[in-house]
Structure 1
Amino acid sequence: MASSLSRTMQTTKTVIETKGGVVSAQHRLAAEAGAAVLRAGGDAVDAAVATSFVIGVLEPWMSGPAGGGAMMLWRAGEGKAVAVNHGMRSPKGLRVEDFPLSGDGKAGDLFPWDKVVGDVNVQGAKAIAVPGVVDGLGKVHGLYGKLPWAELLAPAVAYAREGLQVDWYAALCIASVTRMLAKDPDAAALFLEDGQWPTISGWTALAEKRLDQSRMADSLDIIAREGARALYDGDLGAAMAQDVQDKGGYLSREDLQAYNAQIQKPLSFGYRDAQFHVMDGLTAGPTFAHAMGDIEQRDLSDKPSAFAAYADALNAAYAARLGTMGDDGESPEAPGCTTHFSVVDKDGNMVSQTQTLLSIFGSRVVSPSTGFLMNNGIMWFDPAQGRPNSLGPDKRCLMNVCPILGEKGDKKFAFGASGGRKIVSAMTQMASFVADYGMGVGDAFHHPRIDVSGAQSVVADEAHAPEVLDRLRADHDVTTAPRSVFPYAFACPAGVMRDGDTNTGCTEIMSPWGDTALELED
């Protein structure tokens, strides 16, 4: 039965059509920063750089310069897709013996790994992996950007100087991990007030509370002036690595200097009369391709059959993913909570970028020298040894990110999502919504979904029709849940679409900050 809230309230997002460019992001001001770049004559890559750095300031618990991720880029003039892998790596000095299994059940964060003593693979300095997002953005900008790098980082520097305003949603996010943030003095100083979550800016918006992000602003200014490699080869990166080591972690200056984001060939495949391009290697791209291949063989003539097919295909794809994927550190061809944004410019170039610290607030450790909140990418590894994705030094992390590019007739779209293991479920269904049912971006984003993330049960949006839920229950243990502001039972997508020369965009309907910004038309 649907909750009383869902019966009395409906949430929608407005979808606006334009001939100009569109940026859809989990924070409105980040989308606006990207749209401003398009107005200034920048292309989709330029807009993506600006959006990435701004969202790292305004949504710092999801992503930032100390994180990693992946980008899919569509080059309209060349008619080709490009993959940019800027995922994280484990430090070379990591010691597996520092992560003993406790024998006390499963970890309590995003992944059901065996629990490690002290949760040191989840929280604290030992959980920090080598970040990659800044190098990835620098490389793609060097290849395809039009506007100067420093101009693109200027909005992020300005927002950091101003400091993030703590509204009700920011306070809620901080409150959800207050106890863990309090364990790191620098994280506590940045996010908490006297060891407690901060007071909000006031229900009437007459009061104003802002985080002090001035140190982060200084660091971003260095990256703006000296380039992306300042975080890897310069004094800034050396200071960040020293901070991590002072707190007991492994990240070294040598790890940063050795880091190299990869421009690589995408995994491209046909699906009925559509075409998809995703990131290959240690991402959710192959899992997405596996699921879509299974769905292609199934009958989707009605919605109950379609969602039964989605559930079966995702279960099979996740079983293959968790049983076989990992990095043994020996293959040079293998490429390495989260936010996503998508961009399309007036010429049809597209970017689908997913970037992350992994957990919400990452490792819950702040580097005092840089002001950056650090990732906990080590949690991506299975702490049990002898498995494909087992924890080890100098290994690529098995990411859950799944930015996609799709083509169906005159429609081209760039979708992606945040949400850990929930991401590939969302992308599989939304890709099918467009490819099999011809949905536009608005219908695809508003349609109820299910989540199948490698567990034994299916989580279904309670807004589904009764016949869909009945069909799912015939073969699966089904739990229903509403789409809500917090917590998210399903992934949080953002995407853009180009139909002919008309561009549209949308974000998760329950995302309080998520929005689409438009380039002004002449």
Structure 2
Amino acid sequence: MLTALAPLAVIATPAQAQDSEAEPVAQKPDFKESIGPGGRPVGADWSRSPVYAENGMAATAHPLASQIAIDVLKQGGNAVDAAIAANAALGLMEPTGNGIGGDLYAIIWDPKTQKLYGINGSGRSPKNQTLDQLKEKLGDRDSLPPVGPLPITIPGTVDAWFEMHGEFGKLSMADILAPTVEYAREGHPVAPIIAMYLDRSLRAYERRQEATPFDFSNARATWFANGAPKAGEIFKNPDLANTLETIGRGGRAAFYDGELTKVMVDYLQRQGSAFEYEDFAEHTSEWVEVACAGYKDGYELCELPPNGQGFAALQIVNILKNIDLSQWERGSPEVLHYITEAKRLAYADVARFYADTDFSKFPMELLSEEYGKKRFALIDPAKATPDYRPGEPKLEGPGDTTYLTVADKDGMMVSLIQSNYRGMGGGLTPDGLGFMFQDRGELFSLDPAHPNVYEPNKRPFHTIIPAFVKKDGGPYMTLGLMGGGMQPQGHVQVLINMVDYGMNIQEAGDAARLNHDGGRQPTDDLAGTGADLLGTLHVEPGISAETIAALEAMGHKVEVVDNGIMFGGYQAIRRDPETGVYSGATEMRKDGQAIGY
């Protein structure tokens, strides 16, 4: 049964985000001053207009996937149907970010019950493999590798599709998957940024084969038979077409307890995996409670609980609500400093407490406003603190992703994120099925004392998180920002952009971002041995040289990164509380598109 962001004053234009030679631009002192005579009639001159529509909206990382979602809505499907259809399409069209070999999380606003529903569609480790047995296979390694059979966990996406569809869907799954089946058989032109990621993936797999040999033959035949596909090249995946058609015809059982299962298990066992048929047959998704944290002016950010990192965004909000960031200009060193320190404080707790809640109870005190005040008090306004330790709550009991969002004419809104984790996954592709297994198990710790330690039949720590924003208690906005540890801090940056600096939904995503990387991690031992405890503050071009110098004087390690890759992929849909009209936005750093009707 179901249970009921960057406030950066200096903004990178799309050209600056892509151009490695771009110089930092000076900060504009006031948001409104960037909109003047000769500028854009709507929004700032470094952004584009949001997309407005009344009957439905879809925002995904690929225009064809967005169009499929709109087509499903027009055919009588609802937002859940359209989200599943778009997700299936992205598994074909953006295999560098997701696929049915990975996991899925979603937040759904149901207009009938006026409630948020959350689903955790993440998979588990083999139930008959212990930590000692895993360590024996790892040999001298002190962590799980990114490729091969050992980091694989059960793919949870297909089960989550059927759970969502069973509660909310209207069209048949065969009809929902049909557009992707056709594109997989007939082909589609590869999008340019996805082509770049395919090339990066191929080179990465070839490098990793030297360090950790694994079976890349099926993956090469599926995606790289003639090298990495180029932008505009027609790509086909008939194996995936057959797999999706089988799922549409045979339902969930076809994947987890049927003909496809036998193929997957036979293949995995040949690779040395401990997975057995029963691991697939017994897999289940979990409906979970969505938690929200109030920011200001009636806005609440809502996230899913661990094993994901969504609650880290709520912790950051609870820390930053103790300071009025709008007193400074966007992109000022003060604003970047407070966001970075709040993120580091939250992540000290992520590294210590976030894990599969079936094995380790989450201390809900971490989400209290009182705890947020205590953590905020640790921030030195003048300098970066070298190391933040995790808090001491009362304990009771023991990168690559796609984000999409769809809203329909009845007010249902879906915030969905799906991933194979690093790159396209762990490199292993089962015989004739056209998809790659995820390598999410790489995020297990090997420290027996850590809540996130590898154990049999356990879900690893997860980075992928969908988000939802309420306004005055009602539905306001879906949003997501793909990309590992960028996600919680990205959610908060977008929220701050809109609430504190008055940006529209598109500007809030186009604004230059920061990404603090490093510090304590959920894969570390509890002492944080070997961790880069200060970490590095990465910023996009558009952050002024003066701000960077000031941050460095505060003790931050700052790097300007100009390719956009590490700053995520944003999609969002906002619902006007008075008119019900949707506005949609998508990521300038990706190939995506927001479409409405």
Q: Provide the TM-score with structure 1 as the length reference.
A: 0.87
Matches of 1:223 and 1:13 in 2, distance apart? Answer: 39
The alignment status of 1:516 with 2:594, answered yes or no, reads yes
- Deviation, 1:322, is 0.6
2:346 equivalent among 317, 320, 323: 317
- In the other structure, the counterpart of 2:458 is 395
Counterpart pick for 1:82 among 107, 117, 124: 117
SS of aligned partner of 2:454: coil
Q: Which residue of 1 aligns with 2:560?
A: 481
Q: Which residue of 2 aligns with 1:107?
A: none
Within a 5 Å distance, the mapping from 1:413-492 to structure 2 comes to 413-455=477-519, 456-466=535-545, 468-484=547-563, 488-492=565-569
1:102-113 superposed matches below 5 A: none
Once the two structures are TM-superposed, the CA of residue 404 in structure 1 deviates from its matched residue by 0.8
> 1:115-514 alignment to 2 at 5 Å?
115-116=142-143, 121-166=145-190, 168-179=192-203, 180=205, 183-193=215-225, 197-198=227-228, 200=230, 208-211=233-236, 213-272=237-296, 273-300=298-325, 301-302=327-328, 303=330, 304=332, 305-327=334-356, 330=359, 337-409=400-472, 412-455=476-519, 456-466=535-545, 468-484=547-563, 488-500=565-577, 501-511=580-590, 513-514=591-592
SS of the residue 2:112 aligns to:
coil
Distance 1:453 1:34, change over 3 A: same
CA shift for structure 1 position 53? 0.8
| 3-state DSSP of counterpart to 1:125 | coil
| Mapped partners of 1:381, 1:323: distance in 2 | 13
Cα-to-partner distance string for 1:56-98 (whole Å, 9 max, x where unaligned): 1111222111110210111123221110110121121334333
Displacement of 1:296 in angstroms is 0.5
Higher Rg of the two aligned structures: 2
Cα distance per residue 1:246-292 (max 9 Å; x no partner): 22222322111111111121112322221222101211121111111
How far apart in 1 are the matches of 2:569 and 2:339?
18
Question: Residue 209 and residue 76 in structure 1: after superposition, are their counterparts in 2 closer, same or farther (change >3 A)?
Answer: closer
The one-letter amino acid paired with 1:18 is A
| Greater shift in the superposed pair: 442-451 or 159-168 | 159-168
Map Cα deviations across residues 201-249 of structure 1 (whole Å, 9 max, x no partner): 6xxx6xx4424x1111111001111213321122212221221112222
Structure 1 residue 59 corresponds to structure 2 residue 91: no
Q: Which residue of 2 aligns with 1:32?
A: 67
**Shift in CA distance, 4/192, structure 1 to aligned 2, threshold 3 Å:** closer
Q: Against the structure 1 CA distance between its residues 4 and 381, is the aligned structure 2 distance closer, same or farther, given a 3 Å change threshold?
A: closer
Deviation at 1:352, TM superposition (A): 0.7
Say if 2:475 and 2:575, in contact at 8 Å, map to a contact too. yes
Q: Alpha carbons of 1:434 and 1:340: their partners in 2 closer, same or farther (altered >3 Å)?
A: same
Percent of pairs with identical residues: 25
Letter of the 2:230 counterpart: I
Note closer, same or farther for the CA distance 1:444–1:411 as it changes in structure 2 (3 Å cut). Answer: farther
The answer for unaligned runs of 5 or more in structure 1 is: 105-113
Using the TM superposition, give the Cα deviation of residue 383 of structure 1 relative to its aligned residue in structure 2, in angstroms.
3.1
Contact 1:82 1:265 in 2 (8 A): yes
3-state DSSP class of the match of 2:324?
Answer: coil
**Once the two structures are superposed, what CA deviation does each residue of 1:190-209 show, in whole Å capped at 9, x if it has no partner?**
12236xx24636xxx6xx44
CA contact (8 A) 1:23 1:343 kept: yes
Q: 2:34 is matched with which residue? A: none
C-alpha RMSD over aligned residues: 2.7
Secondary structure of the structure 1 residue equivalent to 2:53? coil
Residues 64, 4 of structure 1: CA spacing in aligned structure 2 closer, same or farther, 3 A cutoff? Answer: closer
Compared CA separation, residues 467 and 292, structure 1 to 2 (3 A) = farther
Q: Distance in 1 between matches of 2:509 and 2:360?
A: 38
Gaps (5+ residues) in structure 2? 1-9, 11-15, 26-44, 210-214, 364-399, 520-534
Q: Which moved more, 1:130-139 or 1:182-191?
A: 182-191
* Counterparts in 2 of 1:391 and 1:495: CA distance versus 1, 3 Å: same
CA contact (8 A) 1:243 1:369 kept: no
